[in-house]
Amino acid sequence: MRRLHEHHPESAGRRMSKRVPVATAVERAGEVLLRVREGAWDRPDVVYVTDPAGRLQGEVGLLALLSAAPERPVGEFAARGPATVRPSEDQERVAHAALRHDLPSVPVTDADGRFLGAVLPRALMEILYREHAEDLHRLAGVRREISHAREALEEPPARQAIHRLPWLLLGFAGCGAATLLVSRFERALQAHVAIAFFIPGLVYLADAIGTQTEAIAVRGLSLSRVSLKRLLVGEVFSGFLIGSVLGAAAFPAILVFFRDARLAWAVSLSLAAAGTVAAAVGLLLPWTLDRLGTDPAFGSGPVATIVQDILSLAIYFGLTQAMMN
């Protein structure tokens, strides 16, 4: 059997505790209760029940143990065995298993079903906190995991720059592509300077829609069992609805202030189309990274932002050029 320190630092094997009450199914309730009272446990309110070979059969709560007749074997009133994880399981999957199966603690078993220990509530809370902080850093384009937000804030400037720059350099290259794209429509901008007024707002709104989708997708993809097609259809429709509402709100304002129906239509349709595309990118990019074996939070923010910006600009200038010439 592997020792705790032999497991990966972020695995169930490293996070589990062995200081939990264990009883075989044939042991009597009175004997088990006496052992629980006399022992020093990390969590004494649940007794894990095994067969003589140590394979997990179920669990008994402390209240059930106190209510049972002292001579009654614990196997007779043990609850059905809860969901288990392997010691090599990533800690994030352990937390997801606890949430999915409504478990205050998650038992750990080997490949033969033998009970090894349990990941307890305090460890689960710490896992959720660390994973949440890690995802926030990754979505922001911070290169490596920083275990505590305070440490990230208090790091020396040079180290902070090293951790933030890699994905931003990719975004910098994307900015060059976006600039080149805008320069291709110089004549349209000269002929209708008002077109330029709506670029910041269009890009911002598309980014905001995409960021909302990313935030949902990054964690949801690891929990959802719904097919990609169904998820994509739902997100695309949501993006279209949001963009259409924003476009409908923009149309009368542009018409009143600029007195140009063609510009109003171009901006409104661009908002609907850009919202649709941004939602699709916000889902597909994390999904692609997940399929490639990379945490979907890595680089999703900076990469998705520049992709959405370029596509939004292409849509906007394509529509304005087609409708206003």
pLDDT per residue as tens digits for the range 155-193: 677 776 776 677 778 778 888 898 999 988 888 888 889
In the chain, the domains with their CATH numbers are: 4-118 (3.10.580.10), 166-324 (1.10.357.20)
Mutual orientation of helices 199-223 and 300-324 as an angle, nearest 10°? 140
Q: Residue 85 pairs with which residues in a beta bridge? A: 108
> How much is the pLDDT for 168?
76
The residue ranges of the chain whose pLDDT is under 50 are: 1-2, 4, 145-149
Give the separation between CA 39 and CA 41, rounded to whole angstroms: 6
> How much is the pLDDT for 47?
94
Residue type, 209: I
> How much is the pLDDT for 286?
79
> How much is the pLDDT for 215?
75
> How much is the pLDDT for 223?
58
Q: How many CB atoms lie within 10 A of CB 292?
A: 9
Q: DSSP readout, 148-176?
A: -HHHHHHS-HHHHHHHHHHHHHHHHHHHH
Residue with tokens 């004494």: 44
Say if pTM beats, i.e. exceeds, 0.85.
no
